[in-house]
Amino acid sequence: METTRTLLHRCLTQVEGDTGLLEELLDMLPSCLEDLMASFRKAVVDHDATAAHEAAHSVKGMLANVGFFELAELAYEIEQLSKASRFSVALERMEELAEKTNATVTEVRKLLENMPCGC
Amino acid sequence: MRVLIAEDNVLTRRMLERTFERWGYELVSTPSGKEALDLLLGPDPPLIAVVDWMMGDLDGVTVCRRLRAERTEPYIYIILVTGRRSTADIVAGLEAGADDYIVKPFNPEELRVRVRAGERIVRLHQELVNAREKLRLQALTDPLTQIWNHKAILDRLDSEYERAQREGIELVVAMMDVDRFKQINDTYGHQVGDQVLVETAARIRDVLRPYDSVGRYGGEEFLVIVPCQNPADPADIGRRLWQRIRGTRYKLDGLHLRVTVSVGLSVWHASEDIPPPQLVQRADQALYYVKRNGRDNYMVYSHMAALPAPANAG
């Protein structure tokens, strides 16, 4: 398990040190995730493996682009579960992923806010 | 250089937008594959496109395939952004027409160098297109006078003739010959003769509208094509061409030369079945008439019948 500081460092690498952009992305992330969760939940209700897989795939790409690689790995597992039509497990994991993501966003943002200038 | 970003995930799109802005690119971005394709097929498209593979309405691979099928120029360099890592997927993306791909999560440094590679390709392609266009123009232009050459002016005549047939308009063809050109060459030298031709071409262009055409038909012969929306008065066109040449002396290297031309004209009316070569032939016959009657004049082919037979002067 990586530390929040390591994670912040990676996130900053992804945005080439642009802290303003990182703040903006962290602000956007929960609502973007919620939109994709809604699509995912609907796909699960419809037993639509393709739509569930696509929603999980989008979550994975989004998390990875921000630098949340470990969370993206979880999204990849959900992608595979969706592909295999294992909807209930996939949904359970997705809810866990959402919680972890929101918690991680809060931690990273706090660290970012307290980061001394020039770091 | 303008870059298109097509990415349906709002967060990833924002990240790409800001990243490209930071790198100094002008941006167009869209969440839609369909809109991306419309932009790329539209006028003045961005020359680099960063396209997400998976988009709701139209996926990136289809965008690539349709763009390549429907547009060859200007060349648009496409980078597919994908979460897919398998060789089969990458091959499919490149075969669809993508130039490159980058796997999510993309490393900004890697993306930047890939975009730069794209810029180089786009610039090289533009240079090739410009060079080709220059060569094409060279092949159609008379190097001395910078007007159409023999082949090009006859091609223009064919296309103007087709257009006149389609639109039901009239076409005036004028054949012009610089009078006693051999004497100019013999008296003042070929360099002066060349300058006379250059000045004559420039004066003819002065008389014409931008959509009329003039070409160097032969040594000192010029062919002029004038499409006319309204019923044409070929004699008026002939007079203006003739007058523009003889009206003022040519000032060439300290010489003040009086140059005249003989002009023969023919007209094609919408209802007539006269092919382009015959139009040229008729203008040539009218020109011949003028030359046999003392040169330095103009004549319309259809007016010749009403005139006495030409004298036998050469």
Domains of chain A with bracketed CATH: 4-111 (1.20.120)
Of A54, A62, A69, the CB nearest to B11: A62
- Between the alpha carbon of residue A83 and those of residues A87, B127, B166, the distances in Å are 9, 48, 60
Residues of chain A where predicted confidence (pLDDT) is lower than 70: 1, 117-119
- Asked if the bond preceding B105 is cis, omega within 30° of 0, the reply is yes
Catalytic residue among B7, B160, B170, B220: B220
In a domain, B310, yes or no: no
| Beta strands at B100-103 and B77-82: parallel, antiparallel or unpaired | parallel
Residues B188 and B278 in one domain: yes
Q: Which long-range contacts (CB under 8 A, 24 or more apart) does B198-204 make?
A: B198/B144, B198/B145, B199/B250, B199/B252, B199/B259, B200/B145, B200/B176, B200/B245, B200/B259, B200/B261, B201/B142, B201/B145, B201/B146, B201/B147, B203/B244, B203/B245, B204/B147, B204/B176, B204/B241, B204/B244, B204/B245
Phi and psi angles of residue A62, each rounded to the nearest 5 degrees, phi first? -65, -45
Residues B124 and B154 in one domain: no
Residues B248 and B129 in one domain: no
Asked if B220 is an active-site residue, the reply is yes
Residue A14 and residue B105: Cβ atoms within 8 Å?
yes
pLDDT reported for residue B15: 93
Residue A24 and residue B18: Cβ atoms within 8 Å?
yes
Q: Give ipTM to 2 decimals.
A: 0.85
CATH assignment of the domain containing B203: 3.30.70.270
pLDDT tens track, chain B, 314 positions: 999 999 989 999 999 999 999 999 999 999 999 999 999 999 999 999 999 998 888 999 999 999 999 998 899 999 999 877 788 888 888 999 999 999 888 888 999 999 999 999 999 999 999 999 999 999 999 999 999 999 999 999 999 999 999 999 999 999 999 999 999 999 999 999 999 999 999 999 999 999 999 999 999 999 999 999 877 789 999 999 999 999 999 999 889 999 999 999 999 988 888 999 999 999 999 999 999 999 999 999 998 877 665 554 43
Residues B56 and B129 in one domain: yes
For residue B260, the enclosing domain spans 150-304
In a domain, B311, yes or no: no
In terms of Cβ atoms closer than 10 Å to its own Cβ (0-12, 13-18, 19+), residue B140 is middle
CATH assignment of the domain containing B52: 3.40.50.2300
pLDDT reported for residue B56: 81
Task: Tell me the pLDDT tens digit for each residue of A96-117.
Answer: 999 999 999 999 999 988 877 5
The answer to whether the CB of B39 falls within 8 A of the CB of A93 is no
